[in-house]
Amino acid sequence: MDNLKELSSVKTFGGWQKRFSHPSAVLDCDMQFSVFVPPQAEQGHPLPVLYWLSGLTCTDENFSTKAGAQRLAAELGIMLVMPDTSPRGEGVADAPDGAYDLGLGAGFYVNATQAPWQRHYQMYDYVSTELPALLNANFKLGKAAIAGHSMGGHGALILALRHPQRYTSVSAFAPIVNPMDCPWGQKALSAYLGEDRNQWQQYDACHLLASQSHFSLPMLVDQGLADNFLDTQKLSRPLQLVCQQQGIEAQFRYHQGYDHSYYFIASLIDDHLRFHAQHLSLTE
Amino acid sequence: MDNLKELSSVKTFGGWQKRFSHPSAVLDCDMQFSVFVPPQAEQGHPLPVLYWLSGLTCTDENFSTKAGAQRLAAELGIMLVMPDTSPRGEGVADAPDGAYDLGLGAGFYVNATQAPWQRHYQMYDYVSTELPALLNANFKLGKAAIAGHSMGGHGALILALRHPQRYTSVSAFAPIVNPMDCPWGQKALSAYLGEDRNQWQQYDACHLLASQSHFSLPMLVDQGLADNFLDTQKLSRPLQLVCQQQGIEAQFRYHQGYDHSYYFIASLIDDHLRFHAQHLSLTE
């Protein structure tokens, strides 16, 4: 496989959980990512793909080990792709105080313009362009959908809002929808992009959606009501408000008692897989 | 709750994933364990229980985060109980070289008789007696079944073989079935029990089963054929041979391509839950 080094391959649910490393030109470092290849790959048809973007502190492995998504993905024949959440490796800048919400594990899916970040922190281009090209060169892939959790929900939403033609559908668990106006987002955006808030707008789902009334990509958002970050980090609700204001149809669901953890994701991942499967096949 | 301190409680699949700590008299230290309480607990009926015993290096959390068992347990109304794999805490002996297969994380579900282990390493009594009593004092529980993986599959089998009246059924993934005759088992048994092999027999599933022809507890064993430990650590197969010799019915299944990991467990845990559910209800 071009530029891909297979690090592991483990059978699960009749398919294969695999981990690869590759040199990333965009990020100027070696990267790892995980995929689940469903059993239907053996039939030789193009596989529909769901990109999963993880949240703060995660690597490519949190979703693959904790979400339990492979069971239904194997049944539906969906390939899962799980990128890492930041550039990695020696020489890659990190938060000077080792904070969990900046630097390693906290790329925020933006293209950094500020020192010391701009050399490696180009996660927007990596996830939107370089990684899909690499995958398409190495696997026989069909249409793509995108989903994510928290910071990764933010990533999924901004990618879908800026490139609706690339995805059949978008979904998110507890997404940061208004990073311009919450502590996690402001810390990351000011570090990576500088203090000019005009530069932040291209990475703010609420801002992006407020500027378009014709956005018609199917959208599903699940939010736990026992999520400690719900109000402080501007999860889910502000985006629903913009949808209502813009007359944009989207499904927002709120769940009593559920928190921000993978136990919440695991409980509802099947709904997201079925949601995307419906649109992945309708549009093929 | 008597002697139980709730460390966390997270909603998942309509039920609750909880973690408790408690002082263990048998182990002479504080212990932690995890449970999944299914939504049916609210109805007030006694809940059938599945004890899950984990393998080397695990804590009470590996199964709860990686196996994906809560989804079907919530549907079937089964409570899951996940003990730790050894005593823990300051003053608890560990392997002098920090080896993964002796001491912390490697209690092997035996009652140690040798120094320095005998003070805390009484996992057989803890899992077979103290923990069930504690749970019955704090939850409304019905019948119990038992399952486990690798070292925990060994634990599940010896407990079921020695106390068939306590369980409706037993199942295992890649269990160590003949610890007297493999490196993991010999290392642990000689350290915890000394060099008198007569003392080892009470903890060897093959030996225990060979000495009884009337064992009739339903038994299911799943084994991956790409498991690196299959032959060297005497997994599954020697027990199947004893079953055949003794005319004991049991279901042994071998799976092409599957390894020793939680990806294997996750792929087949639903079958184990349905297997136990059938027997938990048949015998109530």
Could you give the ipTM of this predicted complex?
0.92
The DSSP code for A150 is T
The DSSP line for A43-54 is G-SPEEEEEEE-
pLDDT at B283: 45
Give me the residues paired with residue A224 across strands. Answer: A255
Q: State yes or no: cis peptide before B116, omega within 30 of 0.
A: yes
Q: At A212, is the secondary structure helix, strand, or coil?
A: coil
A228 and B CB contact within 8 Å: no
A258 and B CB contact within 8 Å: yes
| The pTM of the whole model exceeds 0.90 | yes
Q: Is the Cβ pair B266, A70 closer than 8 Å? A: yes
Is the C-alpha dihedral spanning A53, A58, A64, A67 positive or negative? Answer: negative
pLDDT at B282: 52
A168 and B CB contact within 8 Å: no
Structure tokens at B111: 């009652």
Residue for token pair 């105080």:
A97
Nearest residue of chain A to residue B74 (CA atoms): A267
The DSSP code for A108 is T
Give the residue from B197, B189, B201, B193 showing the smallest Cα distance to B101: B189
Q: At B51, is the secondary structure helix, strand, or coil?
A: strand
> Is A171 part of the annotated catalytic residue set?
no
pLDDT at B284: 42
Give the residue from B233, B123, B127 showing the smallest Cα distance to B177: B233
Considering only CB atoms, which chain A residues are within 8 Å of B11? 224, 226, 257-259, 263-264, 267
pLDDT at A284: 42
The DSSP code for A78 is P
Q: What average pLDDT values come out for chain A (284 residues) when binned by 10 residues?
A: 89 98 97 98 95 97 97 98 97 94 97 98 98 96 97 98 97 98 97 98 97 90 97 96 94 98 98 97 56
Q: Which helix (H) or strand (E) holds A145?
A: strand A141-149
Do B98 and B47 form a contact (C-beta atoms < 8 A)? no
Q: What average pLDDT values come out for chain B (284 residues) when binned by 10 residues?
A: 89 98 97 98 95 97 97 98 97 94 97 98 98 96 97 98 97 98 97 98 97 90 97 97 94 98 98 97 56
Partner B, chain A 188-227, Cβ-Cβ below 8 Å:
224, 226
Considering only CB atoms, which chain B residues are within 8 Å of A11? 224, 226, 257-259, 263-264, 267
Q: Is the Cβ pair A11, B257 closer than 8 Å? A: yes
Closest CB to A12 among B17, B65, B266: B266
Nearest residue of chain A to residue B65 (CA atoms): A66
pLDDT at A281: 84
d(CA A93, CA A116): 6
Radius of gyration of chain A (CA): 18
